[in-house]
Homo-oligomer: A and B are copies of this chain.
Amino acid sequence: MQLFYCKDISPNGFCTLDAEESRHAVRVLRLRAGDDINVTDGRGNLYQCKIIDVSDRACVVEATANASNQTIKHPDIHLAVAPTKNPARMEWLVEKAVEMGVAEITLLQCDHSERSFLKTDRLEKLAISAMKQSLHTMLPRINPAVKLSDWLTQTFKHSSIQAIKLIAHCEADKPRTMLSQALKLGADTVVLIGPEGDFSAEEINLAIDCGFQPVSFGTARLRTETAALYAVAAFNLINDRP
């Protein structure tokens, strides 16, 4: 199945693929008027469509079958991760985490960050591509970099968010639960993954104040992006997804 992405589908079932999607349909796959394709809006809807007007810049398609609505709420994992110094490692992480069905990614600016900024537009393109590849119909949100302490205070300090909240850090002398024990079937989960230099003691304490539980991923020293993907894989296994 070849899946296309179009953010806006009209109430009458028409949509216009953007330049990249149109070029892929017309130039790469050599599709023509009348051909059938599948389109998702990235919000859980899947449409069976027919190409109405072929153009390699703005292909118009019409939904022919009732949308298959896959917006049933599953437990979600929200990955909050410090960008790695090498941006390619983050790009790889976004691709793999989206394939595995991550719901939301927030980039964190931490005390020990070696990179505090990363353009989200390229990450969003990779996310769209990975969503289509893996036949997901929910496009994860990718939130631009935010200072961890501000984000914790504003989002979690005085909130009653119902989710398992975890902070993965490497300080072996502080009490930590094994990840496998901390995850729970059916529970939305937020996981904080630190930069190459780990979270600072202040960040760990603030996260604990905000209801986050410190977790260990074991004795191996995992790279930031490996730890982040491991958390998503573990969440999936516990919940029998993706």
**A residues bordering B, Cβ < 8 Å?**
92, 96, 99-101, 133-136, 178-180, 217-223, 226, 229-230, 233-234, 236-238, 240-242
Copies in the complex: 2
Provided the pairs A100-B222, A220-B101, A223-B99 are in contact, do residues A237 and B234 lie with their beta carbons within 8 angstroms?
yes
Bound: A180/B238 CA distance, A: 7
Do B233 and A237 touch across chains, with their CB atoms under 8 A apart? yes
- Residue in B closest to A216 when the chains form the complex, CB atoms: B240
Bound: A240/B222 CA distance, A: 14
- Residue in B closest to A97 when the chains form the complex, CB atoms: B226
Q: A217 to chain B: which residues have CB within 8 Å?
A: 242
Minimum C-beta distance from A168 to chain B (A): 13
Which of B92, B135, B222 contacts A242 (CB under 8 A)? B222
Do B222 and A134 touch across chains, with their CB atoms under 8 A apart? yes
Q: A178 to chain B: which residues have CB within 8 Å?
A: 240
Bound: A136/B219 CA distance, A: 9
Write 6 A-B pairs (CB below 8 A) sorted by A numbering: A92-B92, A100-B220, A133-B223, A134-B221, A180-B238, A233-B237
Bound: A226/B96 CA distance, A: 7
Q: A236 to chain B: which residues have CB within 8 Å?
A: 218, 230
Provided the pairs A92-B92, A240-B178, A240-B180 are in contact, do residues A233 and B229 lie with their beta carbons within 8 angstroms?
yes
